[in-house]
Amino acid sequence: MRRLLAVAAALALLAACSVAQAQPRVEIIDYGIYETGIRTTVPMPISVSGKMNVVASVRLTEKTREVVGQLGTSFGFRYRIHGVPPGANVTIRTRHPRLTNPETGKSMNYGEREQETAPGSERYTGFSFDATYEIAEGEWAFQILYEGRIIGEQKFKVIVPMN
């Protein structure tokens, strides 16, 4: 009987360790200001602009959490997702100060999209100041959510220079 209890306890401990190792998480590879490669614009309904740029490649040019808001500046982070089944969807959310698109009147303080995972592969998410209305001073946060829970986040402080 004692041996049976010891085996059951060992199996329970092993199962608990397996569950702990499989917890969804994001490994941040680097963050800051990037030079981006070729861009393709695609629809992104849950955003103030209604679109997003998909970039072919990125290169970190400055590791920083403080970003000067200027047209053409791209910032964000590269990451890997662990503990999420291949093909599962995660939500990529960008929280920012309220932005208002002058062409549409749409005003939001976040953007959001779904992305299929490829656990362990390197990904990038970020933002490029492509229009003057997008440059807003304050805290910006890029979040990765799985099943409604934040599993990774990178924050930045955007500073708007005085003219």
Does 113 reside within a domain?
A: yes
Cβ neighbourhood burial of 141 (10 Å; 0-12, 13-18, 19+): middle
Average pLDDT rounded to a whole number, residues 3-21: 51
**What domain range is 32 assigned to?**
24-159
- The CATH number linked to 58 is 2.60.40.2390
Does 92 reside within a domain?
A: yes
Does 9 reside within a domain?
A: no
Does 5 reside within a domain?
A: no
Q: Are 144 and 26 in contact (CB under 8 A)?
A: yes
* Count of domains for the chain: 1
- Per-residue pLDDT reduced to its tens digit, 67-83: 999 999 999 999 999 99
pTM, two decimals, is 0.84
Does 151 reside within a domain?
A: yes
- Per-residue pLDDT reduced to its tens digit, 89-135: 999 999 999 999 999 999 999 999 999 998 789 999 999 999 999 99
